[in-house]
Amino acid sequence: MKDITEKEFDKIRAHVKELFGINLGDEKRSLVYSRLRGVLQEQGLTDFSEYYKYLKNDKTGKATTVFIDKITTNHTFFMRESDHFDIFRDKALPFIKEEYGKQKDLRLWCAACSSGEESYTLQMIVQDFFKNDPGWNIEMLATDISTTVLDKAVHGVYSNESVSTLPKDWQQKYFKPHETGTSIVVDSVKNKITYRKFNLMEDKFPFKKKFQIIFCRNVMIYFDAETRDTLVSKFYDLTEPGGYLFIGHSESLNHTGTKFKYISPATYRKEK
């Protein structure tokens, strides 16, 4: 298998940028080669020029699905950047309970849910918080561009080692033993989350209602400033007044270009 040339890499990274907003720097050239060479071999393609044509001519979407699954990094774990979950529990949810107590309506969007650890953590916090206040309509949407990680999220099966990082009472209430060495999320948690494939680069977001909480963590590090600002503006328009936006600790917003108010590291709020 021939190595990927600079010209071939430029074409492929332009394709990624156009479809998904992801910037692949020069240092990612060897990563692209190593992750995609097996795909070329499976398809009987001799070089990355042929692969680029194969991608561009794909009408089914299958080739693009495999492509994005291969080049994106989906590294996550339960309670990642745990201070966000503290703010969610101690600040955001009390605000929602006070502000929307009559409607009893809570809408959350986990906008890059990966394999589900984040969305399930949020749902467990929500269920603990509202356990003595029944009747709430709680809608959580969890989206990602990778079908591979979404499939894992939908199934909700995790190694016992990864689950062991969670509080003991959560392990007992919200998980049950599965196959050897694994646990599965209970249906009372799983059934409260809607998982969907969604590309954050869509021109229009098809949501009829706004959200009080949006989590979009460790995604925008792959975007350039213009792409990031455009996405944050869409998030702002989709956030209810007083609502929260959580981003990754390695990310930041353009303070002069966003209407969100800075609350604490990687936590922002839409003023009422």
DSSP bridge pairs for 6: none
Starting at the earlier edge strand, list the strands of the sheet with 267-269.
Answer: 193-197, 137-144, 105-110, 211-216, 239-247, 267-269, 261-264
Cβ neighbours of residue 92 under 8 Å, at least 6 residues apart?
A: 212, 213, 244
Cβ neighbours of residue 189 under 8 Å, at least 6 residues apart?
A: 120, 123, 124, 127, 156, 174
Q: Which residues are catalytic?
A: 35, 144
Residue 200, amino acid: L
